[in-house]
Amino acid sequence: MSEAENKSVRELPYVMAINEGIKEVLREQKDAFIAGEDVAVAGGVYGYCTGLLDEFGEDRVVDTPISEKGIMGLGVGASATGCRPIIDLMFMDFVGECMDEIANQMAKMRFMFGGKATLPVTVLTMGGAGGSLAAQHSQSLEAWLAHLPGMKVVMPSDAYDAKGMIISASRDNNPVFVVLNKASLAMTMEVPEGSYEVPLGEACVRTQGKDLTIVAFGRMVHEAMASVEKLKAIGIEAEVIDARSVQPFDTETVVNSIKKTHRALVIHEAVKFGGIGGEISAQIQEEAFDYLDAPVMRVAAPFSPVPFSPALEKVYIPSSDSIVTKVKETLAL
């Protein structure tokens, strides 16, 4: 029985699992604090910082000015000098405001100082569309971050993983981006009380199948799982892998699945061109080419900014129906 299975469990929404993960980190690590816009008095724009100020005080729950570059610089400097900060970046879209701190400092300092400097900083940020928040507040930019040597990037798809990955990230001596999904905040599932880890860089097989391997990231895991039921109706058994981690990526789990199914489909919410699906497709053909009976296929967003219109946004975001259509194409049905 795992550590998590030994703990009592109860139904918890994704948003409160994030809250519990942060609380466990602050209780465990005396040098940890959380900083970001509105995280203290307001409890965060999404509510997952509710109650932190009352329990941990203003020295460890810090409202910052509206300056993403400054907030990220705080995380870099504090982590390099012995703290273990959690930095809250309200929208993933805002990484553009602080990319110099991320790309030229956070990701590189450990290497530039010959390993003498470590940066155990955890960055929580919200990605994805689905709320009619338009082009500047709905992007999925994980491929930007995963391209930086020295950076770890994970995408928890459910409440259990959200809590466990925040705790794992906080114990890691590298900078870790935990990319959460705003459209998943109300999704509820069983989550253990207390502290537990979900390993970074380890994928999870969500359902077994024999005809096709579907590799999905973040909220797209739920669309993939919905497609499984639709595919069963036409006699197709798909295996769904929740990648969970973009960098490091668990190539071994994917390859082992393809050795059984001989076909692969990669799904992500980010635009297809330059998305992480291209990298995963390349890894599959490098490691499992002889096992493939068809080209590796992708389902992703079109090469366009996220539209504001709810009707257009619904079409823009990959869905279980678009997955089923691509599976049929892959299997030449």
Task: Summarize pLDDT for 128-174 with one digit per residue, the tens.
Answer: 999 999 999 999 999 999 999 999 999 999 999 999 999 999 999 99
Are the beta carbons of 264 and 220 closer than 8 angstroms?
no
210 falls within a domain: yes
Domain closes at, from 136, 157, 192: 192
Do 288 and 168 share a structural domain?
no
Do 213 and 89 share a structural domain?
no
228 falls within a domain: yes
Do 218 and 146 share a structural domain?
no
Residue 62 has pLDDT above 50, yes or no: yes
Model pLDDT, residue 7: 72
Are the beta carbons of 225 and 209 closer than 8 angstroms?
no
Within 10 A of 16 (CB to CB), how many other CB atoms are there? Answer: 19
Do 162 and 14 share a structural domain?
yes
Burial of 57 (0-12, 13-18, 19+ CB in 10 A): exposed
Higher-confidence residue of 29 and 330: namely 29
Do 164 and 54 share a structural domain?
yes
Question: Is residue 68 annotated as part of the catalytic site, yes or no?
Answer: yes
Model pLDDT, residue 5: 53
pLDDT digits (tens, 9 = 90+) for 89-125: 999 999 999 999 999 999 999 999 998 999 999 999 9
Domain closes at, from 162, 192, 222: 192
pLDDT digits (tens, 9 = 90+) for 180-194: 999 999 999 999 999
Q: Which two tokens stand for residue 101?
A: 């701190």
Do 64 and 110 share a structural domain?
yes
- Residue 290: pLDDT band (50, 70, 90) is very high
Domain closes at, from 153, 168, 192: 192
128 falls within a domain: yes
Residue range of the domain that includes 143: 9-192
Percent of the chain with pLDDT over 90: 96
Residue 197 has pLDDT above 60, yes or no: yes
Number of domains in the chain: 2
Residue 2 has pLDDT above 70, yes or no: no
Q: Which of 137, 142, 223, 268 is catalytic?
A: 137
Do 116 and 233 share a structural domain?
no
Do 257 and 153 share a structural domain?
no
Provide φ and ψ at 149, rounded to 5°. -60, 135
Determine the 3-state secondary structure of 221 from DSSP.
helix
188 falls within a domain: yes
Residue 254 has pLDDT above 80, yes or no: yes
Distances (CA, A) of 60 to 56, 73, 84, 106: 6, 17, 11, 21
4 falls within a domain: no
Do 171 and 150 share a structural domain?
yes
199 falls within a domain: no
48 falls within a domain: yes
The CATH number covering residue 292 comes to 3.40.50.920
Model pLDDT, residue 1: 43
Do 125 and 29 share a structural domain?
yes
57 falls within a domain: yes
Do 215 and 143 share a structural domain?
no
Determine the 3-state secondary structure of 181 from DSSP.
strand
Do 79 and 35 share a structural domain?
yes
d(CA 26, CA 78): 15
Model pLDDT, residue 298: 98
The CATH number covering residue 66 comes to 3.40.50.970
Percent of the chain with pLDDT over 70: 98
Averaged confidence pLDDT in the chain: 96
Q: Which of 20, 24, 37, 68 is catalytic?
A: 68
Instruction: Beginning with the edge strand found earlier in the chain, give each strand of the sheet holding 61-63 in spatial order.
Output: 61-63, 32-36, 84-89, 122-127, 176-181, 152-154, 245-247
DSSP states of 244-300: -EEES--HHHHHHHHHHH--EEEEEEEESTTSHHHHHHHHHHHHHGGG-SS--EEEE
